[in-house]
Structure 1
Amino acid sequence: MNVLVDLGHTRRLRSPDREVLTLARTLAGSDTVTVLSHAPEPGDLAADLGGYRVATLFAPREEAPDLSRTDTALLDAALAESGANLVLGANDADTTEWFARLAVRHGAAVITDAVGVAEDRTVTKSVLAGGYTTTVVPTTDLAFITLAPNSVTTEDVDDGAAPEVTPLSVSVSGAAATVTGTTAAPASSRPKLTEAKAVVVGGRGVNGNFALVEELADELGAAVGASRAAVDAGWVEHAAQVGQTGVTVSPQLYLCAGVSGAIQHRAGMQTAQTIVAINKDENAQIFEIADFGVVGDLTKVIPQLIEALRERKGSSDPA
């Protein structure tokens, strides 16, 4: 199978990128994988790709002066050069837009938010907030598929030869949005909420004090999230909201404290692999879907959990 992977504007591989590349290497079989980067001069990225059997890395000759149109044109050019019949990317807003535009242009199938792709191109998806698992098979020769975070187990890769970097030149016509300024997101040592393998969430029950939630998250190397009630109360910013009107996450571990588990919240997290809930109300709805539940005061339970984690880390340190 001839596979093209679109890594967007990333200059160093993120966890979702490694998942897509792992899947691409598996699906390609004996064939090689082609990668597109939308960032010029991706020297460090080329070195990172050595272990994924990537033969060619396409990159633009210069920074794009506009949004969307140039990115779509780059992907179209890479598609023509590679001759790929399967295009993979992470399930983010930009990639989904580019794939949708080109799927219409080429009369191809587009499938978003996949959690698995088989060698016969059968795609597995979780739909209706994780209530159902469906299988989808593209009926066109060319297919565009985005992969949901934490869907593929990444493997350690051996160092390999960096792929050849092939520059692409594209031009677009007509009106286009131009970038008039950018603002960097605040730096954080925690992983991105939508990509994290572990997430710790606080709800109304934290009563405005997220210090324990953040401390537990740091012990687990997890991202911090919140329920809508916590966001509406002004305790945390909206970007941290998990649920129907927030972000959807599917981590390996989802630990929530003081979250009731209303259906709107469950819509954004119930596909997590392991769900742990702490709530003093034994009838809280969150316990209906939790793999492990603790009925108790979170201000007493979380400190004990943090202490146990630290003791475990200490006992595992070499003497």
Structure 2
Amino acid sequence: MAAHRVAVLALDGVTPLDLAIPTQIFTTRPETPYEMTLCALDTKVATTAGFALLAEGGLEQVRTADTVIVPGFEPLLSLPDAVLDTLAEARDRGRRVVSICTGAFALAAAGVLDGLHATTHWKHIDEFERSFPAVTVDRDVLYVDEGDVLTSAGVCCGIDLCVHIVRRDLGAEVANRIARGLVAAPHRDGGQAQYVPAPVAVAGEASLSGTRGWALQRLGEPLTLRVLARHAGLSQRTFMRRFTEETGTTPLQWVLNARLGRARELLETTDLSVDQVARDCGLGTAANLRLHFRRTLDTTPTAYRRTFTHSTSRSPVSSPAVPRTDQLPPGCPGPPAPAAATWG
């Protein structure tokens, strides 16, 4: 494979987690063509965590890169003209330009996002919209793909975006392999959970996202392969193949994960009995719910509720929000709520 040069541009005030995401995903591997270089205006870069980083590359490496990625940084800091000019030049030359989280502020300041759709961290999205009226802000997505310009929402959405880029470049198999290595979902539907009560399609995403969203609204109903394939208008065989390519898992395993995610949310946010939780999430009986909790999470529903909720904070709900953990890998121990902590 021909080498694909990736420049990760660390700006002063860079967020270490945002920086770690692309440097991990685009590091050199035998099965990928990426050659990643950490770049900065100056060799030493201050981070929001109080320590400094040493960058091996400068703006010259950014100018020669095929893909330029700007991780999140403190958006109140002003950016040097040299940085803004370099980002604008990359866009003008047709290079792929990407931002993670508040890195969108740098792309917008350079004019890269003018006339395009973009997103950023939910905390800063109002400020972003006020500051850059030439940009159409999408609040309800994990990331936006505008071809050669891509932006992600807060923090962990950078994983979604970078895996999406790998999937675009190299196909689902390589992307899924990298996602599994990160113990991350190969693909997630949905938006920034702080604002959106139900999943919406990600810009440019695959055609079966509509069926997955439809299924998430009906977890308490029978969701067989036949039912899902019929909704998608495909044969069962074609549906199975395409679904697995897009999500990295089978339809029925995906449904089970979604139901467990919903059960976890109901246990955290309501006082519903375990029997009622089992019925509402589509697992039928308390015994079946306990079986899957023990297999997947190595705990019981009651113990899970004690661990991840406070009795004074729960109240019955008639229509709970769709869970944000439907795509978590089996066995992931973390709780799905609060969504801000889980998904950035």
Answer yes or no: same fold by TM over 0.5.
no
Which protein is richer in helix relative to its size?
Answer: 2
The higher-RCO structure (CA 8 Å, 6+ apart) is 1
Higher strand proportion: 1
Q: TM-score, normalised by structure 1?
A: 0.32
